[in-house]
Amino acid sequence: MERSNFTFLVEFILLGFSDLPKLQSLIFGILLVTYMSILIGNGLLIVITKINPTLQTPMYFFLANFSFLEICYTSVTLPRMLRDIWTQKGNIPFLSCAIQACSLYILGVAECLLLVAMAYDRYVAICKPLYYPVIMNHKVCIQLVIASWFTGMPAQIGVTYQIFSLNFCGSNKLNHIFCDASPLLEVACGDTYQKELSVHISALFFVMIPFLLILISYVKIIATILKLPSTSGKSKAFSTCSSHLMVVGLFYGSVCIVYLRPKSKNSGKSDKFYSLFYTIVTPVLNPMIYSLRNKDVINALKNIIPK
């Protein structure tokens, strides 16, 4: 039999920020502070929504789950990034790389769908206030959260399997900060068009469809708010939605740029930058956005911090 030219890789090497050797200490410090801020900020939001009686509503139930999802999402990437910078080694075993990529995709889809559930909650609260307690009962809220976590799981496991079933040859160095489809396809052998197409279709389906659902919800929400007779009513309605819209804009903006824009030879560095937005910047800003723009959360924080 003819000998195959393909070699099964035991591990990959994540280049990360190795192209910035003089800034390694600074980057490590920034990432460490950021990770601690994400854990403390989102953890605090989870605690106050559980123990404060005034925050026992569907909106804060979804917010607590979203905060927990943010902690899980960053914990998949940030600890290893910190370890790589500390040890100056970016080695990651083949299986660990596959698990990291699959976890990111599953959690990313869960975040998209949970943002849809949060938008639907605001739609019912503003557009159908009389039916809100009936429609958004506790059972429905739990079902929406479970659906958000598990709906995309089979598809993302399938996408991950397709990517890692490719033959990898030549360099095993990935010009990225974590294992992702784009850098993996760059070092794969042969024609990767079919696999790349499946990644883009999956991203289009699980990113754009939820985004369109959120957009439709907010078109109806804004139309309803504009019909309100009082200025104070309009202001209060807008304030309850603005925080969610800011998080949606940050997350979807960076995800769409990374996964849906055409690739070029020099897109590696920009991909790292945009990836930091939806894996780090959005999770660290989430508690600030919801606490600084929400009087109920601020009051809950004032009650719990002295204790």
| pLDDT-above-70 percentage for the chain | 87
The pair of structure tokens assigned to 213 is 């659902």
Domain boundaries, the chain: 11-304
Beta strands in 54-125 (DSSP E): 91-93
Residue 215 pLDDT exceeds 50: yes
With a cut of 70, say whether residue 260 has pLDDT above it: no
The class level of CATH for 11-304 reads mainly alpha
Burial (CB count within 10 angstroms: exposed 0-12, middle 13-18, buried 19+), residue 299: middle
- Phi/psi for 220 (5° steps) reads -70, -35
Report the C-alpha gap between 197 and 33 in whole angstroms. Answer: 37
Q: In what order do the strands lie in the sheet with 173-174?
A: 91-93, 11-14, 173-174
- Tell me how far apart the alpha carbons of residues 53 and 31 are, in angstroms, rounded to a whole number: 35
Rounded Cα distance, 263 and 270, in Å: 11
Distance CA 110, CA 71 (A): 13
What pLDDT shows up at residue 50? Answer: 87
Supply the pLDDT for residue 32.
93
Out of 99-103, 147-151, 227-231, 265-269, least confident range: 265-269
Highest-pLDDT range among 19-28, 100-109, 181-190, 238-247: 100-109
